[in-house]
A and B are shown apart, each in its own frame.
Chain A
Amino acid sequence: MLAWQNGGEVTKLNPTDDDGRRNEAALDPKALDSLGRALKAHYDDLVHAPLPDKFLELLARLEAREQRGRKSGSGDAAG
């Protein structure tokens, strides 16, 4: 029995690239398919989670500061 097949026990995967590829080649396409779907569902949940206001507030502050900077900049140039 190969190390990665011993019935759910946590086993060490060889951390070389070759082994990574060999292991994936041995993975069940159905297992990969459920992984892919779970990953997308997980990520979609995160993407669609409500956003706090602070990000928009930050960008609004940055923009306002920039506009003030432009005004005072032209004022200085005139003065």
Chain B
Amino acid sequence: MPPANFKDELIAEIKNLRAFAISLSGSVSLADDLVQETLLRAWSKSDKFQPGTSLRAWLFTILRNIYYSNYRKRAREVQDSDGAYARRLIVSGDQESHLDLEDFRKALAKLPAEQREVLTLVGATGLSYEEAAVICDVEIGTIKSRLSRARSKLVELLGLEESPASAAAVGRMRRAG
């Protein structure tokens, strides 16, 4: 039987759980199914949760396991390749600051799921490398290298790299001026 405040603690995590599910699956409808299934499983396995540990990390682990065992194939079929889910989902926001975000989402959608999830876990949810490693069931070194590859790929896709030639040219101009 779940502890008395378990339901409230679950409720507090739903927004983060759904954001992670959307990032992972690239689809709002799949993400919602994933969240439902995760909540069901968390409820029925609540005795497996160790109080004092991170409920968020525990829920992410459950969601991720469900995703890779049941949803991955479906996700490939329905995933918005250009991150268009965000446009449907997001109702408000400063258009000015969202200009680059659209490009960012398109680039993010092109990463393999393994890289996208690590980027999300470490870069956006505030979980530690250690927690991400437990959630993904890999070594910390693997988390770091996936993160590194994800960043390199995004820099490349978004054209953020600074070529040594132009950097050197700028350096010379600065020295000359």
Residues of A within 8 A of B (CB): 1, 4-5, 7-8, 10-11, 13, 15, 17, 20-21, 23-24, 27-28, 30-32, 34-36, 38-43, 45-52, 54-56, 58-59, 62-63, 66, 70
Chain B contact-residue range equals 35 or more
Write the chain A residue with the least CB distance to B124: A43
The closest CB in chain A to the CB of B37 belongs to: A58
Q: Does B71 contact A (CB under 8 A)?
A: no
Q: Could you tell me if A47 and B7 are in contact, using CB atoms closer than 8 angstroms?
A: no
Interface majority SS (helix, strand, loop, mixed), chain B: helix
The answer to the question of B39 belonging to the interface, with a C-beta cut-off of 8 Å to chain A, is yes
B18, A4: Cβ atoms closer than 8 Å: no
Take A4-B156, A24-B152, A59-B7 as given contacts and tell me if A54 and B36 are in contact as well, using a CB distance cutoff of 8 Å: yes
User: Which listed residue, B1, B86, B154, touches A35 by the CB 8 Å rule?
Assistant: B154
What is the interface of chain B, defined by CB distance below 8 A to chain A? 1-2, 7, 10-11, 14-16, 18-19, 22-23, 32, 35-36, 39-40, 43, 86, 89-91, 93, 97-98, 100-101, 104-105, 108, 119-120, 123-125, 141-142, 144-146, 148-149, 151-165
Main secondary structure of the interface of A (DSSP, over half): helix
Known: A35-B154, A43-B19, A54-B36. A28 touches B89 (CB 8 A): no
Assess whether B162 is in contact with A28, with CB atoms less than 8 Å apart. Answer: yes
CA distance A58 to B36 in the complex (A): 8
- Are A28 and B160 in contact, with the CB atoms below 8 A? yes
In the complex with contacts A21-B148, A42-B101, A42-B108, A35-B160 CB distance below 8 A? yes
Report whether B161 and A17 are in contact in the complex, using a CB–CB cutoff of 8 Å.
no
**Cβ of B104 and Cβ of A43 under 8 Å apart?**
no
Q: How far is the CB of B130 from chain A (nearest CB, A)?
A: 18
Are A40 and B149 neighbours in the complex by a CB distance under 8 Å?
A: no
Whether A46 contacts B155 by the Cβ 8 Å rule is: no
